[in-house]
Amino acid sequence: MAESQNQYTEESIRSLDWREHIRLRPGMYIGKLGDGSSMDDGIYILLKEVIDNCIDEYTMGYGKRVEITVAEGMVTIRDYGRGIPLGKVVDVVSKINTGAKYDSKAFQKSVGLNGVGTKAVNALSSYFKVAAFREGREKVAEFDKGILVKEYKEAATKEANGTLVVFRPDNTVFRNYHFIHEYIENQIWNYCFLNAGLQINFNGKNFVSKNGLLDLLQRKTNPDNLRYPIIHLKGEDIEVAITHTGDYGEDIYSFVNGQHTTQGGTHQGAFREAFVKVIRDFYKKDYEASDVRQSITAAVSVRVQEPVFESQTKTKLGSQYVWEGGPSMKSFVYDFLSKELDNFLHKNPAVAEALKKRIEQSERERKELSGIRKLANERAKKANLHNKKLRDCRIHLNDDPPAKNKEEFFQKQQESTIFITEGDSASGSITKSRNVETQAVFSLRGKPLNCFGLSKKVVYENEEFNLLQHALNIEEGLDGLRYNNIVIATDADVDGMHIRLLIMTFFLQFFPDLVKKEHVHILQTPLFRVRNKQKTIYCYTDEERQRAIKELGTKPEITRFKGLGEISPEEFAQFIGEDMRKDPVLLTHDAQIQKLLSYYMGKNTPDRQVFIIENLKVEKDLVGE
């Protein structure tokens, strides 16, 4: 490199203002950007940052209603709290480290403590408006990408006290973004479950919870699948709900100060340990921890003073203590459960007996599988030494962060992805075009087994399933999951659709938590390439194809992609990069997994036959040819 290009002088040193820094390094403030297809994508973090302020007002005793509208990419949020002090409206949304939450008397157990949230929303929005209403007066300001474009003078108003925020995420930052309303509804339900009595209206639909975490578990479980009625316990600064189901896995929802900690943290770890210890003490038997927690569905919420999160997106709690000079998180949770859960089980012997039977069932199943698991693990180790089924990446979801650049590392962990492909040509194309830091490829051999109705024994006896389980590192649950995104990448034909269903059946049958926590996605690759000598357009639907033909004019070249192997690595790089299109596999709150699998993957039922006949289409109908 020429010396002039490698100068390190005073001119090399640059200071960024708050807005520039957020826009240059958005991942430090909102995690990954994404296009809205994942529940932790940045557009939902923007939404959350504004709603969090409304919730903080509610928890302080001001305003019982929040109104949210999302339409055509524009978000409007109105609360009925105290309203931002009028003289500070502009500062609160545009001056970094400015806010009321530094005063612990005003916001004792708030979610946001560093004065960054709404500034990030402002800086990352192409349009941002804030209005505060207090005692018959209002103050309004409008911004463009964090820059103040219009500040209105204080004026009289008939509006009730509170704050209004309107914003449109900047599509140069969040490319091709779209809001999935199911994700927003899930966010809203969590706010309601954690703040019983709070009323939230979203696009005209009302959300409210009377019974907190009890309502949450009732929404997340099928009553016919519960082994015993939900246990609901409440104390000062802590609330838990617990039950066991007939499904595999361990499903724990954890919250801190109303924030859904999707990556857990010290409070969730404390609950898992404390629950096992209390159960062992109650039954006076040293059960295996995995047997106690197998098939558990639980929720735990704590209130903490000055919470310490491991990243700005607040998805993992790092606080070791509940408050300064107070108990450790472990002792706080254990003391609560050792008293309240122990009392509950003594007072409800039928529940205690049902819980014991579920634990002992898990114990029997584990012992029956122990020999098979040992052989399967040995086979997996040998296979990994000499096969090419897994082309791994460098950064994984459960890797320990480095001492420096933690925020950047956490962002890459959220981007960690494994593509599940079928066939050498498809896996070869993705392998050559992937980002080796964050994207891995697992290659299936042919169609996997339809495992509906089979026991977990088949996971260890079937080589494909066993190796996939090891690649994901989910044998003992999701704690060790190596990739945040599991992307099924199959051909856009009938066989590809069938393989997709078989993989989803495997996950839903044995690892439903992967789907419930929205780790599983379907890769969307273009069906058509339309081009002339000047321009190439990739089309994902027939409507896009028609528009491309119209745009390019007379007789463009049209290619129909049916197999992933037909797409060159150079082209594939465009489809799995920043603009990757993927659809999440979503379960509705009332979805009953076994009934769902029985309908789609069981023997031909009359209902399914009728559905197929009424909706029969040949492949050419699906692509408009």
469 or 369, which is more confident: 469
172 and 302 part of one domain: no
Q: What SS3 class is residue 522?
A: strand
Under DSSP, the state recorded for 400 is P
Q: What SS3 class is residue 485?
A: strand
Strands 74-79 vs 155-156: parallel, antiparallel or unpaired: unpaired
- How far is the C-alpha of 437 from the C-alpha of 413, rounded, in Å? 10
51 and 173 part of one domain: yes
275 belongs to a structural domain? yes
- Residue 518, pLDDT > 70, answer yes
pLDDT of amino acid 185 = 93
66 or 466, which is more confident: 66
Output the six-digit token pair for 440.
């891995």
C-alpha atoms less than 13 angstroms from C-alpha of 497 in its C-beta half-sphere = 8
97 and 241 part of one domain: no
- Averaging pLDDT over each range in 96-105, 508-517, 596-605, which range is the top one? 508-517
Percent pLDDT > 70 in the chain is 90
558 or 305, which is more confident: 558
Residue of 293, 288, 451, 450 whose CA lies nearest to 370:
288
Find out whether 389 and 383 touch, Cβ atoms under 8 Å: yes
Residues in the chain: 625
Find out whether 32 and 42 touch, Cβ atoms under 8 Å: yes
Whole-angstrom Cα Rg for the chain? 26
401 and 348 part of one domain: no
- How far is the C-alpha of 249 from the C-alpha of 245, rounded, in Å? 9
For residue 182, CA distances in Å to 41, 522, 584, 586 come to 14, 17, 11, 8
Domain range for 457 is 387-525+561-623
Q: List, for residues 136-172, the tens digit of each pLDDT value.
A: 999 999 999 999 999 999 999 999 999 999 999 999 9
User: How would you class 141 by CB atoms within 10 Å of its CB: exposed for 0-12, middle for 13-18, buried for 19 or more?
Assistant: buried
- Averaging pLDDT over each range in 247-251, 350-354, 513-517, 556-560, which range is the top one? 350-354
536 belongs to a structural domain? no
Strands 231-235 vs 238-244: parallel, antiparallel or unpaired: antiparallel
Lowest mean pLDDT across 56-60, 316-320, 352-356, 451-455: 316-320
Find out whether 322 and 305 touch, Cβ atoms under 8 Å: yes
- In the structure, what pLDDT confidence band is assigned to residue 14 with cuts at 50, 70 and 90? low
Averaged pLDDT, 187-194:
93
- In the structure, what pLDDT confidence band is assigned to residue 388 with cuts at 50, 70 and 90? low
Residue of 295, 286, 189 whose CA lies nearest to 249:
295
256 belongs to a structural domain? yes
Find out whether 274 and 330 touch, Cβ atoms under 8 Å: yes
Lateral strand order in the sheet of 536-539: 536-539, 528-531, 557-560
Q: What SS3 class is residue 56?
A: helix
Instruction: State the residue for tokens 């919470």.
Output: 307
306 and 335 part of one domain: yes
pLDDT of amino acid 423 = 77
307 or 313, which is more confident: 307
- Residue 604, pLDDT > 80, answer no
CATH number, residue 225: 3.30.230.10
193 and 219 part of one domain: no
Averaged pLDDT, 31-49:
87
pLDDT of amino acid 591 = 72
pLDDT of amino acid 145 = 95
- How far is the C-alpha of 495 from the C-alpha of 536, rounded, in Å? 28
Give the end of a domain, one of 207, 239, 254: 207
CATH number, residue 457: 3.40.50.670
184 and 251 part of one domain: no
Q: What SS3 class is residue 256?
A: strand
490 or 4, which is more confident: 490
Element (H, E) at 181: helix 181-194
Chain mean pLDDT for the chain:
86
pLDDT of amino acid 618 = 53
Q: What are phi and psi of 385, to 5 degrees?
A: -75, -30
Residue of 411, 410, 388, 392 whose CA lies nearest to 401:
410
263 or 330, which is more confident: 330
Averaged pLDDT, 579-608:
80
Averaged pLDDT, 237-265:
89
555 belongs to a structural domain? no
188 and 230 part of one domain: no
Percent pLDDT > 90 in the chain is 48
Q: What SS3 class is residue 95?
A: coil
Find out whether 183 and 39 touch, Cβ atoms under 8 Å: yes
Residue of 448, 526, 513, 576 whose CA lies nearest to 294:
513
Give bridge partners of residue 382 from the DSSP assignment: none
311 belongs to a structural domain? yes
Q: Say how many domains are in the chain.
A: 3
- Residue 625, pLDDT > 50, answer no
- How far is the C-alpha of 512 from the C-alpha of 84, rounded, in Å? 43
Give bridge partners of residue 302 from the DSSP assignment: 238, 256
Instruction: State the residue for tokens 């066939």.
Output: 423
pLDDT of amino acid 103 = 47
pLDDT of amino acid 385 = 46
Strands 536-539 vs 238-244: parallel, antiparallel or unpaired: unpaired
Averaged pLDDT, 528-538:
91
- In the structure, what pLDDT confidence band is assigned to residue 113 with cuts at 50, 70 and 90? very low
- In the structure, what pLDDT confidence band is assigned to residue 12 with cuts at 50, 70 and 90? low
pTM: 0.77
pLDDT of amino acid 588 = 76
pLDDT of amino acid 107 = 45
Q: What SS3 class is residue 438?
A: coil
pLDDT of amino acid 114 = 39
550 belongs to a structural domain? no
| Residue-wise DSSP of 532-569 | -SS-EEEESSHHHHHHHHHHH-SS-EEEE--SGGGS-H
314 and 360 part of one domain: yes
472 belongs to a structural domain? yes
232 and 258 part of one domain: yes
- In the structure, what pLDDT confidence band is assigned to residue 491 with cuts at 50, 70 and 90? confident
Output the six-digit token pair for 534.
């000047």
Give the end of a domain, one of 207, 225, 252: 207
27 or 470, which is more confident: 470
Averaged pLDDT, 98-122:
59
- Residue 587, pLDDT > 90, answer no
Give the end of a domain, one of 159, 179, 207: 207
Q: What are phi and psi of 377, to 5 degrees?
A: -65, -40
135 and 268 part of one domain: no
329 and 395 part of one domain: no
Residue of 341, 348, 240, 258 whose CA lies nearest to 298:
240
CATH number, residue 127: 3.30.565.10
518 belongs to a structural domain? yes
- Residue 427, pLDDT > 90, answer no
- Residue 99, pLDDT > 70, answer no
Residue of 313, 298, 307 whose CA lies nearest to 329:
307
- Averaging pLDDT over each range in 92-106, 221-235, 394-408, which range is the top one? 221-235
- In the structure, what pLDDT confidence band is assigned to residue 617 with cuts at 50, 70 and 90? low
pLDDT of amino acid 623 = 46
- Residue 442, pLDDT > 90, answer yes
User: How would you class 79 by CB atoms within 10 Å of its CB: exposed for 0-12, middle for 13-18, buried for 19 or more?
Assistant: buried
| Residue-wise DSSP of 373-394 | HHHHHHHHHHHHHH--SEE--S
